[in-house]
Amino acid sequence: MRTFIAIDLAESLKRALESLAGELKPLTSSVRWVGPTGMHLTLKFLGEISEASAAQISSILEEVASRHQTFPLVLQGTGTFPPGGRQPRVLWVGVVPGPQLLSLQEDIEGEMEKLRFEREKRPFHPHLTLGRVKSPSRLDALVQEMEKHQEQHFGEMNVQKFLFFQSILKPTGAQYNVLKEFALR
């Protein structure tokens, strides 16, 4: 099964992101927009694993959760990958990289590395994907509109848990099933 570890967003934040996407959608048909069920902050993508691995990972994630307290998560700003907006492939809303978020992500990364999951080569850049560009043509108006929101505050929530997700790829998009929730202390 295809899996990842993430923080699910509060409904109020999902609505704020849907509102922004609603403003941007009319500007291009070249983007595949992320729906509300896909709006989560990925902490670690694991890829294909077995049922036995899932049980072992769940046990370790319980330990990780017990080491971390609840913390605020703040959504602010917009951008693209790659940066600069010339030929964007991903449109995103930023997440303020607070110390508690970074500590949790690093703890998960380190524990998964012990289980032989390769450490991410790029530094952790917390963000929420709004959409993925299908065709890089005629995106100027979209990029200009994204730039208007570079400093915008989209809301915040208190993170009380993170989740272990299974992702099932379908022609209509990914379907996400929660394998287990891990409460922070």
Burial 35-62 (b: 16+ CB within 10 A, else e): eeebbbbbbbebeebeeebbeebeeebe
Among 150, 9, 147, residue whose Cα is nearest residue 74: 9
Q: What DSSP string describes 128-140?
A: EEEEEES--SS-H
Domain ranges of the chain: 2-183
Cα–Cα dist 184/164, whole Å: 14
Q: How confident is the model at residue 138 (pLDDT cuts 50, 70, 90)?
A: confident
State yes or no: is 68 an active-site residue.
Answer: no
Mind listing the pLDDT tens digit for each residue in 49-72? 999 999 999 999 999 999 999 999
Q: Of 40, 68, 125, 153, which is the active-site residue?
A: 40
State yes or no: is 149 an active-site residue.
Answer: no
Q: Which one of 3.40.50.10860, 3.40.50.10490, 3.90.1140.10, 3.60.21.10 gives the CATH number of domain 2-183?
A: 3.90.1140.10
pLDDT at 40: 96
Q: Of 68, 125, 127, 149, which is the active-site residue?
A: 127
Mind listing the pLDDT tens digit for each residue in 22-47? 999 999 999 999 999 899 999 999 99
